[in-house]
Amino acid sequence: MPQPTQRQYIATILVWFWGARLSLFLFYRILMISEDSRFDNMRNDPIKFFGFWFFQFLWVWVVSLPLTFLNSVSMSNEDVPLNSGDLIGLLLSIIGLVVESIADQTKFNFKYVE
């Protein structure tokens, strides 16, 4: 089995870190507000409820395709060193994570904190 490349490790760690941050924020938000009104219209209609979850699944699958392709076996065989494009991508990922974190907390404070 081929060894993962640095690019694969970095991209996978960034995605895991982003997912963990988002999950923890959503958990924190539901603990603080104790409800999620987005589901009120769907709870009694199984078709709407299924549609909501199906499109969430579809969205996650489509968005995760680049990481899936990057981590495929055919990409593991490439021993290409990291380059300036990788460093720019890493920097943009970190900036995006910070901006998203600030935006989530700011919106939460605006909507729910008095």
pLDDT for the residue 55: 94
pLDDT for the residue 36: 75
Q: Kindly give, in sequence order, each residue whose CB lies less than 8 Å from that of residue 49, ignoring residues fewer than 6 positions away.
A: 39, 42, 43
What's the pLDDT tens digit per position in 2-59? 788 889 999 999 999 999 999 999 999 999 988 877 777 787 888 988 998 899 999 9
Compare 39 and 62 and report the one with higher pLDDT: 62
pLDDT for the residue 2: 76
Residue ranges of domains in the chain:
1-50+83-114
pLDDT for the residue 18: 94
pLDDT for the residue 91: 97
Largest CA distance in the chain: 55
What's the pLDDT tens digit per position in 76-109? 666 788 999 999 999 999 999 999 999 999 999 9
- pLDDT band at 75; cut points 50, 70, 90: low
Q: Kindly give, in sequence order, each residue whose CB lies less than 8 Å from that of residue 2, ignoring residues fewer than 6 positions away.
A: 73, 76, 77
